[in-house]
Structure 1
């Protein structure tokens, strides 16, 4: 059986989706509570929905981020950008004290942020980095 682990942001993910729900509920409640003499033009309505959809898209990108390690390498999804990095191309993983997230360093000295592992998750983040370093050393 292949060794597969997926790491996702804990608190950040909850906050992103909670804010999305709150945004939609507030939009609906405010829309219903406006007096009848206040109305929006079609251009204002379209602009408002474009802004709301942009914010929801951003929040979903934060919530869907992950880092997946398997026998072939590391797959990183940061928002809407996906990276597949084989173990042979990875030099190491860096996570300094107080860093918001770890960084994957390739043999070419390119860096990929691992947004799916949030430093604010404390022990979970340290465990994830330790696991990734252990897989690299193996």
Structure 2
């Protein structure tokens, strides 16, 4: 029996290093897995930081573009308001000129009516004096009626 116990002892002594080796292997793989996870988390964190930087830069560019567009729109609005004011002033001037021209036309029409009445009076005076008024086609002067 001593042969069997010797084999059992040797087997026990041989299993202990195998168990230790297995535990060392497990610890090493766990450590390796944890370091890979840690490295992966660091890479993900770094990628997130880079995405944040890119997003921040894109936001700054978009903000700059927006502010430039807004400034241009404000300048254009200011120019348009100036042009509207100028057009308003021109409209007032044109309306004043239009009113003045209408008044002048009314005065000229009144003068024409007065001249037409004068022509009628003069025509009747010419006829009463025995002279013929000028025919519509001949405006050179009075013509005598008869011989």
Q: Normalising TM by the smaller chain, what interval?
A: under 0.3
The structure whose residues are more often strand, as a share, is 1
TM-score by length of 2: 0.22
The structure whose residues are more often helix, as a share, is 2
Structure with higher Rg: it is 2
The structure with higher relative contact order (CA 8 Å, sep 6+) is 1
